[in-house]
Amino acid sequence: MYAYDAIDREMLADRVAEFREQAARRLSGELTEDQFKPLRLMNGLYLQLHAYMLRVAIPYGSLNPVQLRRLAHVARTYDKGYGHLTTRTNIQFHWIKLRDAADILRDLAEVGMHAIQTSGNCIRNVTADPYAGADSSELDDPRVWSEAIRQWSTFHPEFSFLPRKFKIAVNASPDADRVATRTHDIGLYVARGDDGALGFKVFVGGGLGRTPYIGPLIREFLPATRLFSYLQAILRVYNRLGKRDNKNKARIKILVATLGAAEFARQVEAEWEKIGPAGDLPDTELARIRGAFTPVAFEALPARSTRFETAKQASPAFARFARNNLRPHKKSGYAIVEVALKAIGETPGDISAEQMDALADIAERWGLGDIRVTHEQNLVLPHVKLDDLAEVHAALAQAGLATANSNLITDIIACPGLDYCALANARAIPIAQAIAETFADPERAERIGELKIKISGCINACGHHHVAHIGILGVDKKGEEFYQLTLGGSAAEDAEVGKILGPALPAGRVAPAIDELVDVYLRERSDGERFLDTYRRVGLAPFKEAVYADAH
């Protein structure tokens, strides 16, 4: 993992000092809330319905045990004992006091963490494949590029006051997309050129919110050595031409859609040519960063573990966990472990301080000290020996972290919604809980198979509802919470925006409607089809019929 050097640490120390001074000016009354707002919004500090919320960056979703324990300390000392993981792989603390904020940033800085790039119209925290370094299909380690992007984009003098926020994601597997890459302002797919050279496929102008777009391809192959001049060209075109008079039209997706992907690409290429290699990072720096991600020392192990097989025979609960929450690792004898923060009846993405500490211990003891956050609000232990899985499972279960529902219908993404967020129209958490309870029977959930439900409490779409197999959007109808369902979206390699099923439903109808949709799927599905596949084959009509039958 990348460890902050003296320069990185001094950057954070200077940031803490700056914020401490700004917060003191607010606390003394020298600054009004209006004057303070843009300053706190450059430090991830939001004012929500009940309190300040601090969003802490977890660049490319990568954490070590020391950092996770420090997050537990923040939750315990300054909040109500828990944090909430977001679809941008950040963690939010929802009950923060302004007078503590600078101390929290100081505590975080000690372990190389911060709240930079978690708010404001800057280049936000970069996200990457959570299986980086563990997946056999990856073409290069996306963390190398993500860390380089993190540094390049931190306090970028030209791009800190963009028309709107700007999100970059890096995917490295040609077979799978676990980063929702094409819903980002810039999505990078690591690629290999015809001659084997490393590079990127570049997608620009994806995004969710009011106007969802799957980002179009604007460059088939960008040599990796030219990444930063190309990013600069994209950002410069956007900074100069992006709309600023209407917040709803200010994202780059609108610029790309207005100009057309081809014309946008032409302008970027023209600017890129003028910038030239002066805008690129030297190979020495890329090599230095790459060195920090040298492959960990895996043991040579047989592909089959007797301990693992025996434990599965002995424990149905462990066998279920193994079926649903393990992914193949590039090294034989290892597995990738999904730690779902989706216990039935709990808030999706919430994790308590005790759970953070427990997971840090588990990662340290059995997981090579590596922890990842996914955009699906779960955690990952990327490197666990098959031999150790039963013990890991037992320890996770002890901490309430062994929910065996990864990728299943109860593995729901939900934004904080109206329970916390000042922007929300409707609650998201109770809807997620009601659905999870409807499908609490794990055997039934497994029979249903992969089904991605995502819930947003408003059109800003933090819950990614547009790209869910079943998306749920909270809307306000004359002061009452209603929910609009969409079907057939995907955030993965087959990215697509879902289609609206029909009129919005009252809160009490949502979970029963999901049940009806699932019944249609189980009735219609052919062998091996996921919900999404069946929907794509049979279309919207039978699903619509089932949910709105009573309305006829």
Nearer to other proteins, 30 or 299 (CB): 30
Of 220-249, which residues contact other proteins (CB under 8 A)? 236, 239-240, 244
Q: Going residue by residue from 25 to 64, which x/- string records binding to other proteins, judged by CB under 8 A?
A: -------------xx-------------------------
Who contacts 531 (Cβ-Cβ below 8 Å, separation ≥6)?
Answer: 448, 449, 450, 451, 469, 470, 518, 521, 525
Bridge partners, residue 203, by sequence: 187, 217
Does position 8 bind other proteins by CB under 8 A?
yes
Task: Kindly determine how many residues on this chain lie close enough to bind other proteins according to the rule CB under 8 A.
Answer: 36
Quote the CA–CA distance of 387 and 462 in Å, as a whole number. Answer: 38
Does position 162 bind other proteins by CB under 8 A?
yes
- Longest Cα separation, the chain: 68
Quote the CA–CA distance of 4 and 97 in Å, as a whole number. Answer: 28
Q: How far is the CB of 52 from other proteins (least distance, A)?
A: 19
Of 458-477, which residues contact other proteins (CB under 8 A)? none
Does position 291 bind other proteins by CB under 8 A?
no
Does position 287 bind other proteins by CB under 8 A?
no
Beta-strand pair 470-477/453-456: parallel
Does position 263 bind other proteins by CB under 8 A?
no
Report the Cα 112 to chain-centroid distance in Å: 20
Quote the CA–CA distance of 290 and 302 in Å, as a whole number. Answer: 29
Quote the CA–CA distance of 27 and 30 in Å, as a whole number. Answer: 8
Q: Contact region for other proteins (CB under 8 A) — 124-132, 148-156, 316-324, 528-536?
A: 148-156
Quote the CA–CA distance of 24 and 19 in Å, as a whole number. Answer: 8
Helix (H, G, I), strand (E, B) or coil at 174: coil
Q: How far is the CB of 122 from other proteins (least distance, A)?
A: 10
Does position 18 bind other proteins by CB under 8 A?
yes
Does position 3 bind other proteins by CB under 8 A?
no
Q: Contact region for other proteins (CB under 8 A) — 271-279, 309-317, 320-328, 523-531?
A: 271-279
Q: How far is the CB of 49 from other proteins (least distance, A)?
A: 24
Other Cβ atoms closer than 10 A to 343 = 16
Of 487, 285, 511, 491, the residue nearest 410 (C-alpha)? 511
Q: Going residue by residue from 351 to 390, which x/- string records binding to other proteins, judged by CB under 8 A?
A: ----------------------------------------
What tokens does 139 get?
């073409």
Q: Which of 281, 423, 492, 540 binds other proteins (CB under 8 A)?
A: 281
Does position 152 bind other proteins by CB under 8 A?
yes
What tokens does 316 get?
């149905």
Does position 274 bind other proteins by CB under 8 A?
yes
Determine contact, residues 473/510, Cβ cutoff 8 Å: no
> Residue numbers of the site for other proteins (CB under 8 A)?
5, 7-8, 10-11, 14-15, 17-18, 22, 38-39, 121, 151-152, 154-162, 236, 239-240, 244, 274, 278-279, 281-282, 284-285, 288
